[in-house]
Amino acid sequence: MTHTANPFGQVLVALVTPMTADGEVDWPAVEKHMDDVITAGADGIVVTGTTGETSTLTDAEKIRLVELGKDVAAGRAKIITGGGSNETAHAIELYKASEKVGADGIMIVTPYYNKPTQAGVLTHFRLVADATDLPVILYDIPGRTGVPIRYETILRIAKHPNVLAIKDAKGDFSEVSRVLNQTDLMYFSGDDANVLPHLSIGATGLIGVTANIAAQPYRAIVDAVNRGDLAAATAAHKQLEPLVRAVMTHVPGTVSAKYILHGLGRIGSPRVRLPLVGPEEWEAAKIEDELALVRDVPGADFSNFRPDRNAAAGGALPKVSGTTR
């Protein structure tokens, strides 16, 4: 099946979920942050993904994030839900609920922890894709799930009419090229450092963590690639490099992105939920050293960066009732 339209956008933010100091979702801050990244150039937001701390969000919180995203976007950006499950039945339940409240698409991560065979991975994808009319992005991130989506599995699932794209965090560029040649799937870069290399071999866009802090330069990179201006795309890529290193190198991206956003005054707390914790002193120092190298990145002015290591220390348990499945 040939897919002629992209229903997801090109600059997608893997959204952090701002929280209060005691670990509750800070809904006003979520709303503000969503509006900030859309205004900065994002045309898609992935809520309840890895960066959104999906593992420690309740089902009700996941659905509410989709609802709020639709309200805030108001047609300016697509809202994709990444909050699946390694239990196929539960994943279907979550995606159906997300579709009901208006999600524009779903992102299905390879089942984690279970370590299924490729037959199990394929069956999981097929059953979830069968259960919704929404367009599907597959999420290939073996570093977290323990299981890659093999080339042969990609070819088979690509025949499903709802499966339109892959988010690639595997970094196998030869496989990306091979799949792009053999299927109609769109590719989204899932590694902030490799956005331009992915785009240069035919990827559609990105789903990025660093874009929480600076979506505007990613918009510039994508737009430059779209018009064939490699020099402009490369210049923006080089400007972003120290910021990407600050976000993606020393602690989990969720932790560093919240630490930086809080230091910029864009969210009220850097709090993450356990088992994630804020950066230790030496980790925070490394993040700050990288940020000192950031120059002239549009939308990222660090002249007023005021980190608060005490606020970031430790983690929090959510004060919620009911299941956290």
CA–CA separation, 158 and 153 (whole Å): 8
CA–CA separation, 316 and 314 (whole Å): 7
Indicate if 151 belongs to the active site.
Answer: no
Q: Is 183 annotated as a binding residue?
A: no
Annotated catalytic residue: which of 167, 218, 258, 286? 167
Q: Is 207 annotated as a binding residue?
A: yes
Burial state string for 211-244 with b = 16 or more CB within 10 A and e = fewer than 16: bbbbbbbbbbbbbbbeeeeeeebebbbebbebbb
Which residues touch 97 (CB under 8 Å, ≥6 apart)? 59, 63
Secondary structure (H, E, C), 21-48? CCCCECHHHHHHHHHHHHHCCCCEEEEC
Contact between 45 and 69 under an 8 Å Cβ cutoff? The reply is yes
Annotated catalytic residue: which of 62, 78, 95, 139? 139
Indicate if 187 belongs to the active site.
Answer: no
Answer positive or negative: Cα dihedral of 139, 145, 149, 153: negative
Q: Where is the binding site, in residues? A: 51, 207
Q: Where is the binding site for pyruvate, in residues? A: 51, 207
Which residues form the catalytic set? 139, 167
